Amino acid sequence: MTASTTRSAAHGIAAATTTRGPAHRAVRASHSSAAAGASATSTTPSRSDSRHGGGRGGSWHQALLPYTQHPETYDPAREVFAYSESTVTIYDQYPKSSVHLLVMPRRVVTNVSALDPAKEEDVRVVDQVDAECQRVLALMQAMHPTLRFRLGLHAVPSMTQLHVHLISQDFARAEKLKTKQHWNSFTTAFFVDWEWVVDEFKAGRKVTFEKQEYEQLLKSPLKCHECTDLPAFTNMPRLKAHLDSQPHGVRDDENASK
């Protein structure tokens, strides 16, 4: 039997189930280097214009699926950053920071909860996506050594197809970052670190989330993701003005020099 990891704010650890909720403290993505392996297509993402062109046909919720089926038909400068037989990495259509990419399996996987660690083919999917996440992370760190990045996914994704966000933490001038929901989806525990997901999967635990509890996080007060001592901001313009007033999302000198 496969153990199930369900994240919930209201419960502790049960017999065969690890319960995890929005109170989980998010950790930063690992900055370990990864070898830049070959891919069928690879381009340099623009820090100010990283976006993809939107899925062709179908409903909005399924807009990611065409990229997994025919990545070679998309513009490598604006839509598909890289692809292989097992994964595809695309530019987010509505980037919430200067660098915002999505890493997906080519195989159709609705979301992370659809994967079973007891199935060899599902373990392979997680391994392949993780390898590509680390490869692209290493590339972005080399290209933008002063920026901090996170790898993660939304506990309650809005789009069909498993996708891992690789997103820089310099949110100040992202034009598409407009609402409280946008902000909280990347700066609260609603954004679940990919590293944790991989660790749970390798431990043989299936990952699921308490939808209602996580959705409540999107209504959280507007807090700076770094200046934790500051009170909440009353609106997004004031928060973004604060973010723009001093460096945010940058690595310290010691890490940036590595």
Lowest-confidence region among 60-64, 122-126, 188-192:
60-64
Lowest-confidence region among 98-107, 172-181, 198-207:
172-181
What's the mean pLDDT in 171-197?
Answer: 96
Residues 6+ apart with CB under 8 A from 150: 26, 28, 29, 165, 166, 167, 169, 191, 193
Q: Is the pLDDT of residue 10 over 70?
A: no
- Domains of the chain, by residue range, sit at 38-256
Q: Is the pLDDT of residue 210 over 50?
A: yes
Greater confidence (44 vs 159) lies with 159
* 104 CB-contact burial (10 Å; exposed 0-12 / middle 13-18 / buried 19+): buried
Q: Choosing from 100, 144, 154, 163, which is the catalytic residue? A: 163
What's the mean pLDDT in 39-63?
Answer: 51
Q: Taking the CB of residue 58, how many other CB atoms lie within 10 A of it?
A: 12
Q: What is the pLDDT of residue 173?
A: 85
The superfamily in CATH containing domain 38-256 is HIT-like (3.30.428.10)
Q: What is the pLDDT of residue 186?
A: 98
What's the mean pLDDT in 101-106?
Answer: 99
For residue 70, indicate whether it is catalytic.
Answer: no
Most confident of 128-132, 174-178, 252-256: 128-132
3-state secondary structure of 110: coil
Whether the Cβ atoms of residue 196 and residue 25 lie closer than 8 Å to each other: no
CB half-sphere exposure, 108, CA atoms < 13 A: 7
What's the mean pLDDT in 62-87?
Answer: 97
Q: Is the pLDDT of residue 40 over 90?
A: no
Q: What is the pLDDT of residue 206?
A: 97
What's the mean pLDDT in 226-240?
Answer: 94
* 14 CB-contact burial (10 Å; exposed 0-12 / middle 13-18 / buried 19+): exposed
Whether the Cβ atoms of residue 88 and residue 110 lie closer than 8 Å to each other: no
Q: Is the pLDDT of residue 242 over 70?
A: yes
Q: Please name the residue ranges forming H helices in the chain.
A: 65-69, 120-143, 180-187, 194-202, 211-217, 236-245, 253-256
Q: Is the pLDDT of residue 214 over 60?
A: yes
